[in-house]
Structure 1
């Protein structure tokens, strides 16, 4: 009997931002195989309704399952906030018993309180993530005494995706939102970048933050959490392929994805375009 092929770990985002998480996961767990999917044709997810984000995210999770994935990481704060719980509770028992879908919110909220000395933390995210109240709710589970202040930064993702993240024009929007956040509490000493695009803005965020402020991006936190999860679930880890292979897919132009992906990954990548509804869903590189 032919041995069943080992499964890649799926990493999903509505666009490019999840590549900052994938980069840290691959650095932490380089032996595993990975598939990345960016739903760029329907990005951004942030302004969309809960129902729409859930529908889109579920469709992408099902695509990962068709590629053989046993474990999928939603490396997207909006998808984690608006869709993860419903998928875990309602859909997985029907479409993937034994499979796992994890997000980026819980690993972050489990540790954020360890970084703050004042007990005041700021969360910078998309409008969708902030409106979901996912971070205050989840942080309260682990650090009930922590004061959480949120700020929606709707211009930050477009700045990154239009290659303006390191240009002078970005300073205005970054300074504006940091001032608005700090006006809610001058005691904020820890900032969480609750969007996977925001690490590309970290130099400017640091520039307009108070000296000594701790700035947390999610890639390293999620990578460490995934390593621990696989140690706790050896039966799942055993199903994952270990050929150190990484494949990239997008629902939009592969050439555009490659151009942006190089910025996020720090090296050249080669993606293929996918059709989420047809066959195995993989088209040629465009």
Structure 2
């Protein structure tokens, strides 16, 4: 039988935190992880560029046999997912499906707050798209949502500085800015899949009792529910427990080192050129 894995895409390493949760929740399936590290980060790029890059990577995953692709990247979910779902799939894969991380998070984030006020921490691209404002309002119209772009967090994380003392200044800087918007915020959403690696430092600079919500388990539970509700997709997925990792950077050793930190176990990748 030809492999028909679940494809998981991110612009870099962050999607591996989501992949870890998906694998823990849904073991036994075949998976392909694809990181577009050579063109990362996506957070400060234009809508057109993010859409083009994401579409190219989705097409590549389709060519590997994936009937289902998860955009484990908030920036790609915010700026490319809708166009891919509503326009591109008709051409590149009418029998395939592409899902993101924003909607499943928005469906449940309101359950974490008691004050009715949430702060969203994300990349510049995610914040500017206002995707979380719109999606959370759809599911929880009475909740007030504040946003803060944290453009230096991804470079800190991808350069291995996330657990160093120097990162504290930049963590506190953005937390102070989001909390200054409202004294009633009691829940912070980490709306970038890289940010869980900063979670300990983030919590250290927050008032006691503040909720800090990462997306991995949320997305994993949502995917399990999706597969239960869509047996026509689930039945196509191959189940031999095979994990494959690919990256667009030609320095696969460097990718493997960083990826292992995000994924929680050793990773061995192969290089893919998108030129």
Check whether TM > 0.5: yes
Partner of residue 272, structure 1: 270
Give the structure 1 partner of residue 47 of structure 2: 50
**Counterpart residue number, 1:132:** 129
Return the alpha-carbon distance in structure 2 between the equivalents of residues 98 and 142 of structure 1.
28
2:156 alignment partner, one of 142, 155, 159: 159
Task: Give 2:257's match in structure 1, choosing from 239, 256, 259.
Answer: 259
- Shift in Å, 1:276: 3.2
| Residue segments in structure 2 that go unaligned for 5+ positions in a row | none
* Distance (Å, rounded) in 2 between the aligned partners of 1:56 and 1:249: 15
2:9 equivalent in structure 1:
12
Task: Report if aligned partners of 1:6, 1:239 keep a CA contact under 8 Å in 2.
Answer: no
Tell whether the 8 Å contact from 1:8 to 1:240 is kept in structure 2 after alignment: yes
Residue 101 (structure 1) aligned with residue 98 (structure 2): yes
Distance 1:261 1:73 in 2: 18
Is 1:73 paired with 2:70? yes
Unpaired runs of 5+ residues, structure 1, are: 278-286
CA distance in 1, matches of 2:14, 2:40: 11
Deviation at 1:210, TM superposition (A): 1.4
**Aligned equivalent of 1:113, options 100, 103, 110:** 110
Distance 1:212 1:101 in 2: 36
Aligned length: 274
Between the aligned partners of 2:201 and 2:3, the Cα distance in structure 1 is 42
**RMSD value over aligned CA atoms?**
0.8
- SS of structure 2 residue aligned to 1:269: coil
- Counterparts of 1:80 and 1:129, CA distance in 2: 8
**So what's the TM-score if we normalise by structure 2?**
0.98
1:169-193 Cα distance to aligned partner (Å, 9 max, x none): 1110111111110000011111100
Residue pair 1:122, 1:149 contacting (<8 A) in 2 also: yes
Q: Which residue of 1 aligns with 2:27?
A: 30
What's the offset of the Cα at 1:6? 4.1
Q: Deviations over 1:103-162 (max 9, x none)?
A: 000000000001100000000000110011010011010001110000000110111111
- CA distance in 1 between partners of 2:26 and 2:128 (Å): 33
1:235-265 CA distance string (max 9 Å, x none) = 1101001111110000002111101011101
- What TM-score do you get using the length of structure 1 for normalisation? 0.94
Aligned pair partner of 1:246 in 217, 237, 243 = 243
Deviations 1:63-95 (A, max 9, x none): 011001000000000000000000000010121
| CA–CA distance in structure 2, aligned partners of residues 188 and 238 of structure 1 | 43
